[in-house]
Structure 1
Amino acid sequence: MFAHDDPPDPLGPTAGLAGVLSSYEAQGHADPAEAWRAFTRTWNWAAPLTTAVPPAGLPRIPVTQPSSGGFALSGVWHLPSREEGETGPWVALPNVGGRRQPVRGLTEAGGPDLFVVPAKSLPGARGGHDHDASPGPGFRLIDLYVPTGFATYTTGTPLRTGDASFLGTAVAAMALGAARRMTDVLSFRPPGGNALREAGARTALQTELAAVLHDERLSLTATLIGCPAARDDLPPDVEERLAVRARQAANVVHHVLAEAYQHVLALGGNSDRHPLVAVIEASTPILQQARYATELLPPDRTARRKAEHGDDRRVPG
């Protein structure tokens, strides 16, 4: 775990991408939960997304309450005034009203205050059913579930659209580190059972999954060798290649998670007490983000939309 007086070095979009991979992978391995908290408090990764506006006035301040693995979000927001179809597939919803408001049900210091949701989940966003004076169409949400991995802080340094390679690399790195920690705890032996047989199975699986992660990290490292910082105007083909590698890393991590958890279930007994479960819980926000990082902040939105042959038209707003 990171010492409170010695936080991890917050490498950002001006750092070389190979260094970003090395630093964030180590952080994800040391303490996945703290790695994610530090990352989201430092970098507002949702800043490039379309951000809705909550109406002013205390009676209508958005309310955020903790929910299992995430948050329940309620309130009224308005989309920015822009031509229909420009919102994009994801929208960021702040729970601030003129100034940052406390989050009901969380600590006094507050929790995340910016929540990212699919645009298609916003009821009435096209029709503007809310009649308040507003910059754009309004909509109301009641207890909309937002996973922890889709929440961040408006106080973090805003990332830019051009920082996509940094976000994808950092999140993939944290996911690889968290998965490496999962393989570490597979050596745990629950009481009872055939100790010798189970030890052999654990060792074989642990070795196999560790090798898979090692190979994936080497592949990603090879892709990043010679790459400058994300803000050094990476060529579009390089950005796209990095996005593909980040998505591949996320797929590998989810494969490792599934294999490790299936092994724990096969042991029988009270699997909830296995240390792997705690690591999975701590890693969940990273894994949620890793699946969608390159979609939330793609390397080239215009090129991606053209390549998808008008896929945005299926998304409200």
Structure 2
Amino acid sequence: MSELPENTTTTTTHGDYPRVVGPETSLSRVLDFFELDGYADPSAAWTAFTRAWNWAASLPAAVPAEAPGAPPVVRHVQDGFALSGQWHLPPGAGPGSWLALPLTGARRDSEYGAGDAPDLFAVTSAMLPRALRGRRAVGNAEGAGPTFRLDGVRVPTGFATYSTGTPLRTDDAAFVWTAVTGLAFGAARRLTDALAGLASSAAVSASARTRGGPPAAAAAGLAAMLRDERLSLEARVHGAPFAGRADGTGSAEVLSAQARRASRLIHHVVAAAYEHALPLPVGGGRDPLVHLVEQSSPILHYMRFAVDLLPPGGQRSPAEG
């Protein structure tokens, strides 16, 4: 992994990302930078990323319906947000599309301070009421699609962002895929390091061994898998001029396919690391690695769908599950 200058370490860049890295930065540098950030503090890195860049800017946005007694509202819940209220569906938003639900000016019932909560949430049409999925509802606003109502629909933290961030468009897809994959690599590497640390400090009995063998060996194997996949992605992006410029549709398709593959591998590594850590003794009565998994979950949620949210060539693919 190439080194970054000292003035681009995570301790000086949270909340100020665009000054040191962005869509006009080389993809290899983007990968390096965000991997370091994801390793240092996955939760803070994700918050800083979403504050800096509005990755939902290219999605069709619904319009909040200001019906009396039914304004949109957001509540903070475990691992995400619960959305309620009414919106007008934008014209042409069909089944399988991702949709942005803005809550600027809407009432908030959350543990965030005023002005400190995400205000833009990405959902798929599969989450909308059945009548809308079948396109049988009738619109009630001129120039707008049907009106739909949500009642406490849960949106994971990874699908929430800030409308005040710099808008990212489909031309910036390569930057987003690479940045989020770097964050995920860093978070997963921290998990494997934590597993190795737990294994080395614990007297692991025969009963504490998992299917995959001793936890220390499992940690080494998972770390090796991450390293190989990371090197493969680094070879792919090496020499790419700018993160926001795909070198032709074919190149974008190849990079998006590699981002999907890395996502599957990283999700496997995180799940396996957590499983191998469960038998290890730990103080405080809390499962090993659970805090790191919680910190990493927004990145992993988003990464699974990153290519669907900003697909190659701007062709929106159907959402996964």
Give the TM-score band, short-chain normalised. Answer: 0.7 to 0.9
Listed as ranges, the gaps of 5+ residues in structure 1 are: 306-310
Residue 147 of structure 1: how far off its partner (Å): 0.7
For 1:253, give the aligned amino acid: I
Q: Distance in 2 between matches of 1:224 and 1:193?
A: 41
Q: Distance in 1 between matches of 2:246 and 2:12?
A: 35
For 2:236, give the aligned amino acid: T
Q: What SS class does the counterpart of residue 63 from structure 2 fall into?
A: coil
Q: Is the 8 A contact 2:15 2:52 kept in 1?
A: no
**CA gap 1:157/1:206 in 2 versus in 1, 3 angstroms:** same
**CA gap 1:8/1:155 in 2 versus in 1, 3 angstroms:** closer
2:136 maps to: 127
2:44 maps to: 34
1:250 maps to: 263
2:6 maps to: none
Q: Is the 8 A contact 2:71 2:107 kept in 1?
A: no
Q: Is the 8 A contact 2:17 2:49 kept in 1?
A: no
Q: In the TM superposition, what whole-angstrom CA distance separates every residue of 1:89-114 from its partner, at most 9, and x where no partner exists? A: 21111112xxx345212322331111
1:152 maps to: 161
Q: Distance in 2 between matches of 1:252 and 1:160?
A: 27
Aligned ranges 1:1-317 → 2 under 5 Å: 2-3=10-11, 9-10=17-18, 11-56=21-66, 59-82=69-92, 85=94, 89-96=97-104, 100-101=105-106, 103-109=108-114, 110-123=116-129, 124-125=131-132, 126-129=135-138, 131=140, 135-186=144-195, 187-189=197-199, 194=205, 201-267=214-280, 273-302=286-315
* Greater displacement, 102-111 / 113-122: 102-111
Residue 173 of structure 1: how far off its partner (Å): 0.8
For 1:107, give the aligned amino acid: Y
**CA gap 1:175/1:58 in 2 versus in 1, 3 angstroms:** farther
Listed as ranges, the gaps of 5+ residues in structure 2 are: 1-8
**CA gap 1:76/1:89 in 2 versus in 1, 3 angstroms:** same
**CA gap 1:139/1:57 in 2 versus in 1, 3 angstroms:** closer
**CA gap 1:45/1:6 in 2 versus in 1, 3 angstroms:** closer
Count of equivalent residues: 301
Q: What SS class does the counterpart of residue 188 from structure 1 fall into?
A: helix
**CA gap 1:227/1:93 in 2 versus in 1, 3 angstroms:** same
* Greater displacement, 283-292 / 230-239: 230-239
Q: In the TM superposition, what whole-angstrom CA distance separates every residue of 1:13-65 from its partner, at most 9, and x where no partner exists? A: 11111111010111000000001000001111011011100024674331111
**CA gap 1:139/1:6 in 2 versus in 1, 3 angstroms:** closer
CA RMSD of aligned residues (A): 2.9
Q: What SS class does the counterpart of residue 244 from structure 2 fall into?
A: coil
Q: Distance in 1 between matches of 2:169 and 2:15?
A: 24
* Greater displacement, 251-260 / 38-47: 251-260
Q: Distance in 1 between matches of 2:271 and 2:174?
A: 27
Q: What SS class does the counterpart of residue 269 from structure 2 fall into?
A: helix
For 2:187, give the aligned amino acid: A
